[in-house]
Amino acid sequence: MQVQVNTDKNIHGGETLALRVKTAVDARLKRFSDHVTRVEAHLSDENAHKSSGADKKCVLEARPAGLKPLAVTHVADNMAQAINGAAEKLERVLDSTFGQLNTVKGRTPTGREEVL
């Protein structure tokens, strides 16, 4: 799974920031690596140089093989919280997406009928 990091002109961090994003994404999404070809991270500072609370934004867009892209957004006080929050949200979205694909109405992912 490839992780691509994009930042706006107000975000600085270079390779250190890119490594932080890759580490957070790999930690949360490692189990989906066979199904997701690429994750794009878009990092931005909503209020530029003003310090007014939650203004760091991380948008993560996953590219599952054979499916439409899935995107999540998390805004926080600092970039680390924004990255981790977005990675957590993307994990839940991928869980839901792949869970729905593996579940046929009235059957479990193993193919056995559900016992009520």
Range of the structural domain that residue 91 is part of? 2-47+54-102
Residue 104, pLDDT score: 52
Cα–Cα distance measured from residue 100 to residue 82, given in angstroms and rounded to the nearest whole number: 27
Residue 81, pLDDT score: 95
In this predicted model, what pLDDT tens digit does every residue of 42-65 receive, in sequence order? 999 887 666 666 789 999 999 999
Flag whether pLDDT at 103 surpasses 70: no
Residue 107 covered by a domain: no
Residue 116 covered by a domain: no
In this predicted model, what pLDDT tens digit does every residue of 4-39 receive, in sequence order? 999 988 888 789 999 999 999 999 999 999 999 999
**CATH (domain of 84):** 3.30.160.100
Flag whether pLDDT at 108 surpasses 90: no
* DSSP letters spanning 12-50: --HHHHHHHHHHHHHHHHGGGTTTEEEEEEEEEETTTT-
Domain count within the chain: 1
Token pair 């994003």 is found at 21
Residue 108 covered by a domain: no
Residue 21, pLDDT score: 96
Cut 0.95: pTM above it? no
Residue 113 covered by a domain: no
Residue 14, pLDDT score: 87
Residue 49, pLDDT score: 67
